[in-house]
Amino acid sequence: MSKDKIKIDVDLLLDNDVDLSFLNKVSRIDSLYVYETIHDILDSKSHKVMCEKLSEFYRELSHNIKVDTGLRVGDIWRINNGSI
């Protein structure tokens, strides 16, 4: 059985003043995991390695938000700010 994907038109939602405040609570991350990951990143042996780890973590968070909500981070920012 395959999952059907739903494409959300963010502009349409914003234009019609749809209440999307629920999105703030849809995606959750483990605070301890974030703390430990940032600690590991800051403890890197070089600035280059730190930047690489930070970039990788940034991508991981973005991916997890997309999986949790079906929306990209930029779309959620636009929704929360009410701007197009």
- Cα separation, 8 vs 63, whole angstroms: 17
Assigned domain for 5 exists: no
Assigned domain for 7 exists: no
Q: How many domains does the chain have?
A: 1
Assigned domain for 68 exists: yes
Assigned domain for 8 exists: no
pLDDT tens digits along 69-81: 888 888 888 777 7
Assigned domain for 6 exists: no
- Cα separation, 28 vs 65, whole angstroms: 8
Assigned domain for 3 exists: no
pLDDT tens digits along 35-79: 999 999 999 999 999 999 999 999 999 998 888 888 888 888 877
- For 34, the domain range is 29-81
Assigned domain for 49 exists: yes
Q: What is the pTM of this model?
A: 0.64
Sign of CA dihedral 74, 75, 80, 81: positive
